[in-house]
A and B are shown apart, each in its own frame.
Chain A
Amino acid sequence: MSPLWTFLPLVLALLSAGTPWRFRGLSLFLGMTGLAWGVLGGMGWASGLGASYLYLFLLGALTLGLAPYLPAYLAHHPREAHLYGLLLPLFLASMAGVALASPGLGFLFLWEGMALLGYFLIALEGPNALAGARAFFLASRLSGAGLYLAFLGHGHVGADWVWAGLLLGFGVKAAVFPFHAWLPQAHPVAISPVSALLSGAMTKLGLLGLYQSRYWFGPPPPWVGWVLLLLGLLGAVYALVRGLGEEDLKGALAYSSVENLGLMLAALGAYLLKPMPVLLGAFFLHQVAHALFKGLLFLGAGALGERRISHLGGLFRKAPGLGALALWGMGVGAGLPPGPVFLAEWQLYQGFLQGPFLMPLAAGALALVGALALYFYVRLYGLAFLGLPRGEAALHWTQGMRLGLGVLAGLLLLLALVPGLVLDPLGVRTYPNGLLLILLGVLAGVFYRGLLRMPMRAYGTWDCGFQPLSPRMQPNGLGFAEPALRLFPFLRLQVGEHPRLEEPLAEVYPGVGRIYARLAAWVQTLQSGSLHLYLLLQLLTLVVVLGVVLL
């Protein structure tokens, strides 16, 4: 792919960004580009041109969902709306550029540009977002450092070093354990459309990079596969357990992203150890499914005025449409059978069980992840959407938002009915999932209608006859999670007036920041203003350059 072609989306976005924005214009622009990328991506993937095009499809799908959603959402952010209108297309274009680029300076430029735009988009939310934006920035620096090591060192240092750099560079962006801590800090604080893009699309580019590195830099040493497999599974379990104690709805969704990314990293690691088509199927199908359902859920969370789980409840009755869409998204996220995430996990299990050495044991970890994910999404959905309302949560649920979420839910349904769209180019076969979905849907519908016709009496929930139920009798977010958190003693639950759960790995990024600052201070001594030092430096440079040229 020529480098010029990769910059095309960015140029187009820049040109159109100059035009005076109305929301409708922005919506139209996003819709058109989304459609174009989607069609291009779908065609390119099906005709076997390469994995890059699948990511165009992903971006296109998310953009299509954003197109009607964004104007409705930004109506509540009138002050920053124009800046979002300028930055979002640029961010989308830089991600498309990264997906298409081949390694080199152009790639690094687009990669850093993407990180910078992402930082601005998070920081734009206001002072509350500062800590998250800083974590994102530091993670981007770490990721950049790894990539420079790999790209510049390629051909000069051993494959071990190149791959260590790639793991750091792309892995940090894909939230590899223990460097995942930036994601749950940064994603929830941004506005919902940005969270959807960060979680749905940007983190996937790290995975794409790791996948393509195999072709760019040659086959990796075996330890890379094991490291990815182990860290991926460890990260998935860790993120789910920590996410179980998360009070912020979007924070919990961010932890779920870490879990899903962990499974994808594990799939890639297993694929590097033993190239089986099922593992590749799991890797790519999970990415498409995750982008769609996480986009759906983050956008859905944008409709809520209150994000603390313990203060929500009874939302289904207030907005049945939102409740149904969120149920579909969360059911898919919990890895329930006819959903595409289950299909991906189904293939991952098969890959693990047929893998070399002790890899089959990874299936046990995957089963633990599956059970925890069930618990995790029951808690999220049950406490937020069902039961008695715990407060008067405001809801901004407008027509445009409905349409945006509907697009993503529809695409997810299409993926569940015809998973072959993604899997056929890889030569992976599945059982007829669409048939199962239709069968379950029809049977459940028949039963449902039958039960509704039977004699029924409305009555209060059984309250033991002492005093009427109050919403406070329902368990809150931590109360529902506590029995499971007890099983995993690496997290310390602080109970008391304001019970909360620490993120033990949150200190990773401040640590990175401190090291970074110390390095910067050290380099700064070179610029002391001393003429002698500058002359010495020039002389040394001359000697080194001559040495390199002459020898």
Chain B
Amino acid sequence: MTAFLALVLAPLFSGSVKWLKARLTHREGLSPLMEYRNLIKLWRKVWIAPHPTTPLFLLGPILALLGTLGALALLPILPGPTFKGDFLLALYLLGLGRFFPMLAALDAGSSFGAQGGYREGVVTVLAEPGTLMALAGAVLLGEGFSLSGLPELGVENSLVLLLALASLALGLLAEGARMPVDDPTTHLELTMIHEAQILDHSGPLLALYELAGSLKMLFYAGLMALLLPGFKPLVFLGVGVAWVLALAYLETYGVKLRYLRLPDFLSYNTLFGVLALLGAIWRF
């Protein structure tokens, strides 16, 4: 259920960020709804199969979308399947949606794709442990060892949950390929991460990638919404709006970090994760 909701909202989300960014730089900007039309346009286009490709070239975008949708389906914002340990499966389904695009990028045989692939791999290595520990800390404070039993931000668990939220926020920037980790609008080979990976995909394949990209950010926003008190679908929308504002601000006034500085930046993600988990163990 959550996956369907996210699927409907995802183009609006990324469209709004683009629109707000345009407004912030005093440009007219396209309507936030443009993203829907863009996806439909891409879906109708002819796609290009580069010469040395294999079936993996197609499996990349497909599994990027399916993995992210699978992860979203496990978020109990709207009723859906829930079981012990589902948060681990959700994070690893995102991993499935990362593995195949990395392979698809290598498949075309260009130096760009491979470059995007290993850069994405490094970002994952840096971001994954912190995100998992932060989520695990929150889950340990809740009941049933699952996402549906996550605690809501209150007085007694504020420290752990705030740390977890901070870690998840940094996780969103890293995994969603946003500033300051990555610049989603760059065309400069030196600074590309995610864009380099999907360079050879066009038409419907690109549409799948774009959809998967905004869905991935909604997954992290959904995780954060689960930790906040209130009626979940509304909180989810609220977190989404907050992220639109934050991303547009960050990408208008912020700069992309130099690639070699990423470990410094993402070490905060890990640090917050470790502290959240320690807090959950010692109950402070």
Contact = CB atoms under 8 A, between A and B. Distances in A.
Contacts of A444: 59, 62-63, 66
Interface in A400-449: 431, 436, 440, 443-444, 447-448
A489 B263 CA distance: 13
A372 interface: yes
Nearest to B71: A337
Given A349-B88, A386-B56, A368 B121 contact: no
Contacts of A375: 118, 121-122, 124-125
Nearest to A372: B125
Contacts of B226: none
Interface stretch (A66-74, A139-147, A192-200, A470-478): A470-478
A531 B132 CA distance: 71
B48 interface: yes
Contacts of A368: 125, 128-129
B46 interface: yes
A454 B204 contact: yes
A353 B122 CA distance: 25
Interface in A363-402: 363-365, 367-368, 370-372, 374-375, 377-379, 381-383, 385-388
B118 A484 contact: yes
A378 B110 contact: no
A495 interface: no
B110 A361 contact: no
Interface in A314-343: 314, 316-317, 320, 323, 327, 331, 334-337, 342
Interface stretch (A4-12, A79-87, A160-168, A460-468): A460-468
A487 interface: yes
A363 B46 CA distance: 45
B52 A314 contact: yes
Interface size class of A (residues with CB under 8 A): 35 or more
B84 A378 contact: no
A366 to B, nearest CB: 8
B39 to A, nearest CB: 14
Contact of A350 (B54, B117, B145): B145
B238 interface: no
A451 interface: yes
B22 interface: no
Nearest to A471: B109
Which among B45, B51, B86 has the greatest number of chain A C-beta atoms within 10 A?
A: B51
A480 B114 contact: yes
A363 to B, nearest CB: 5
B224 interface: no
A484 B85 contact: no
Contact of A431 (B63, B86, B106, B126): B86
Nearest to B98: A374
Interface in A457-511: 457-463, 469, 471, 473-475, 480-481, 483-484, 486-487
Nearest to B111: A473
Given A350-B145, A371-B128, 10 more contacts: A337-B93, A363-B132, A364-B274, A375-B122, A378-B102, A448-B59, A454-B47, A456-B46, A483-B118, A484-B118
5 contacts: A364-B133, A365-B129, A440-B66, A451-B47, A454-B46
Closest 3 CB pairs of A and B: A382-B106, A367-B132, A371-B128
